[in-house]
Amino acid sequence: MEMDKASPPTEGYKGAPHEDSYFAGQKISTNSATSSPSWGQRVALAIVSLVLWVIVFFVVILIITTTPAQIIVSGLGVSPTIVDNSKGLYTITFLLAFGLLIFSVLVLLINTRFNRRH
């Protein structure tokens, strides 16, 4: 089947223009980065940040308080022995407290940056 060279192209589907300002057929606003967030967005970020911080805080406290200072180690054909875990407990406590501190600073910085007026 040979195509006729003089025939016009078919009027079928035409996609969205392929420009940098288009994505999936919707134009992305270029001034959205300069507009300040609404009051509702700021409150939503504050609430979500607070809830996530409280969840992380209680998980850290739960892990610290439930980690035993002594561990019973046993195996096949070996009598159970008690191993002191106080050094590991201090390490876990330090790492979790440091992680909570970093998370707290990040939440504070993100909320401050988001709520800053331009």
Quick one: average pLDDT of 33-42?
77
What are the tens digits of pLDDT across the range 75-99?
Answer: 888 888 888 888 888 888 999 999 9
Q: Give the global pTM.
A: 0.58
**Residue spans per domain, the chain:** 38-115
Alpha-helix runs per DSSP H in 11-85: 39-66
| Angstrom distances, CA of residue 92 to CA of 2, 64, 80, 96, 103 | 75, 7, 24, 6, 16
Separation between Cα atoms, residue 9 and residue 14, nearest integer Å: 12
What are the tens digits of pLDDT across the range 100-117?
Answer: 999 999 999 998 888 886
